[in-house]
């Protein structure tokens, strides 16, 4: 008996940190469960929207469903409130990490920066249109150029404030890391997404200055890049539904440029767009950049193999030939060209043969699109998507949703726009896998029983406002 008591008394007691870690894990799991319920109620709202649309003209049925929708919306709000309480509990356990005033100021400045950037792009688009019709010296054009300078000055002041706030946030973040490193909780890996390889740099690039990645509208419209991860040596042809646009893509001996090769294009287009937004008049089709910055920005590794893969991407991009009549920058001509005209290594590492800096010359077709500001901002998590099809679906959603809260398309037509060579059955399964992964930035995708594919914005408040507006109409 005595021995038993001694053994029991010697059993290790849990430390305060271990107890906190267990409580933290418990709360996190409960938050995850509530978030799942919240999403389920959101989908119910969407389903009611569809049914209400179908029942228009049948007053009794419509009124009944509107009442049911209101109940679902209340349930969703209650779940959201409960999840908020749990998150507050988690904050109480963790203790303060980042000063809330700094976070709020950062968000406010970021929103201001985004607004100013959008205004600059809008004015530049108008100036580009005026230039295309020879009205560069009109009173309107002069006034617009003056407003661009003013907007750029305002954005510069915002960036200075963001730099200060960012330093304060980074300092607090580093201080909090030792306290959170041994919590005993490992975050659940995100399905369909590659891990953040450079989290600190991502925070700086994406969140501070809003140095947004841009995708050109022309290559978002047509499936230029292959979804295959193996060399694709086939010639690809595509024509829009209304027969107004067509494209033929012929591979090099190394195969067609891949959806992952497109990261190079996005990076170069982003550099050019940012230069134009800042009023630089020395831009041309050739862009110079450091390979390391490209690899980090696109969430790639920085080992020797990554440098080698980039060179292979250059070769596929320059070797893939395009013949198209898709209009860019107001020009519509039928022409043939490489995705990039040329590439060259302008600096190598002293230690080995790795590229340090390179130059890329865009095709005139793509350069015209950039000059005309025919570009769209894409989410930084685009570079974390594992599947080529997921990246292509995000592009399609980003281009076609626009200011809408949802956008629908038939499965067969989506298959054509995605550039998929799989059977309808295989493509349906692939899209449903992406639906299950729920990894698309900014959007959710749903496949209906009637093979209708619908993309919804992730912003719950915006989505509900859109639903309510349509129901009210």
Name the E strands within 119-199: none
The CATH number, out of the four listed (3.40.50.10440, 3.40.50.720, 1.10.10.10, 1.10.1040.10), of the domain defined by the range 385-473: 1.10.10.10
DSSP character for 205?
I
Q: Using a cut of 0.85, tell me whether the model's pTM lies above it.
A: no
| The two structure tokens encoding residue 6 | 């001694």
What is the model's pLDDT at position 109?
74
Phi and psi, residue 340, nearest 5°: -120, 145
Contact 74, 144 (CB under 8 A): no
Nearest-Å Rg of the Cα atoms of the chain is 26
Q: What are the DSSP calls for 75-123, one per residue?
A: HHHHHHHHHHHHHHHHHHHH---S-HHHHHHHHHHHHHHHHHHHHHHHH
Distance CA(328)–CA(338), nearest Å, equals: 15
Contact 408, 46 (CB under 8 A): no
What is the model's pLDDT at position 147?
84
Strand order in the sheet with 340-348: 286-290, 355-362, 340-348
With CA atoms as reference, report the closest residue to 456 among 25, 2, 45: 45
What is the model's pLDDT at position 302?
81
What is the model's pLDDT at position 227?
94
The CATH number, out of the four listed (1.10.3470, 2.60.120, 1.20.120, 1.10.287), of the domain defined by the range 100-180: 1.10.287
With CA atoms as reference, report the closest residue to 284 among 213, 341, 203: 341
Distance CA(396)–CA(215), nearest Å, equals: 11
Distance CA(92)–CA(86), nearest Å, equals: 10
What is the model's pLDDT at position 52?
72
Q: Which residues of the chain have pLDDT under 50?
A: 1-9, 96-98, 177-189, 200-210
What is the model's pLDDT at position 426?
95
Overall residue count recorded for the chain in this entry: 473
């Amino acid at each position: 008996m005595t021995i038993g008591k001694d053994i029991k008394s010697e059993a290790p007691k849990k430390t305060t940190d271990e107890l906190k870690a267990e409580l933290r894990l418990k709360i996190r799991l409960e938050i995850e469960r509530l978030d799942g319920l919240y999403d389920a109620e959101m989908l119910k709202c969407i389903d009611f929207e569809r049914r209400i649309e179908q029942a228009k003209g049948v007053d009794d049925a419509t009124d009944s469903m509107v009442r049911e929708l209101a109940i679902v919306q209340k349930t969703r709000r209650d779940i959201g409130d409960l999840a908020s309480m749990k998150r507050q509990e988690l904050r109480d356990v963790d203790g303060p990490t980042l000063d809330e005033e700094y976070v709020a100021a950062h968000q406010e400045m970021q929103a201001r920066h985004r607004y100013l950037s959008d205004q600059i792009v809008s004015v530049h688009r108008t100036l580009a249109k005026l230039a295309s019709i020879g009205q560069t010296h009109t009173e309107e054009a002069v006034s617009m150029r003056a407003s661009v300078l003013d907007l750029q000055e305002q954005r510069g002041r915002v960036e200075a404030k963001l730099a200060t706030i960012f330093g304060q946030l980074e300092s607090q973040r580093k201080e909090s890391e030792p306290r959170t490193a041994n919590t005993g909780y490992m975050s659940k890996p995100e399905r369909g997404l590659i891990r953040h390889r450079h989290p600190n740099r991502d925070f700086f690039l994406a969140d501070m200055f809003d140095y947004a990645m841009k995708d050109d509208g022309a290559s978002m419209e047509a499936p230029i890049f292959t979804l295959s991860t193996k060399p694709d040596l086939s010639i690809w042809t595509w024509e829009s539904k209304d027969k107004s646009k067509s494209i033929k893509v012929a591979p090099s001996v190394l195969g067609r440029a891949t959806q992952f090769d497109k990261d190079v294009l996005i990076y170069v287009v982003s550099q050019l767009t940012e230069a134009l937004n800042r009023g630089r008049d020395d831009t041309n089709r050739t862009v110079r950049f450091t390979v390391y910055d490209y690899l980090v920005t696109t969430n790639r590794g920085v080992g020797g193999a990554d440098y080698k893969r980039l060179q292979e991407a250059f070769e596929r991009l320059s070797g893939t030939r395009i013949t198209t009549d898709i209009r860019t920058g107001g020009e519509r001509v039928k022409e043939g060209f490489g995705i990039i005209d040329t590439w060259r290594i302008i600096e190598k590492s002293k230690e080995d043969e790795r590229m340090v800096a390179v130059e890329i010359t865009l095709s005139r077709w793509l350069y015209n699109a950039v000059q005309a500001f025919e570009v769209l901002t894409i989410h930084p998590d685009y570079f974390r998507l594992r599947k080529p099809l997921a990246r292509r679906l995000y592009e399609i959603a980003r281009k076609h949703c626009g200011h809408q809260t949802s956008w629908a398309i038939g499965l067969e037509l989506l298959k054509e726009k995605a550039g998929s060579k799989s059977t309808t059955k295989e493509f349906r399964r692939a899209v449903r896998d992406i639906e299950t992964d729920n990894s698309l930035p900014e959007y959710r995708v749903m496949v209906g029983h009637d093979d209708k594919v619908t993309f919804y914005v992730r912003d719950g408040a915006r989505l509900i406002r859109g639903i309510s507006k349509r129901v009210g109409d």
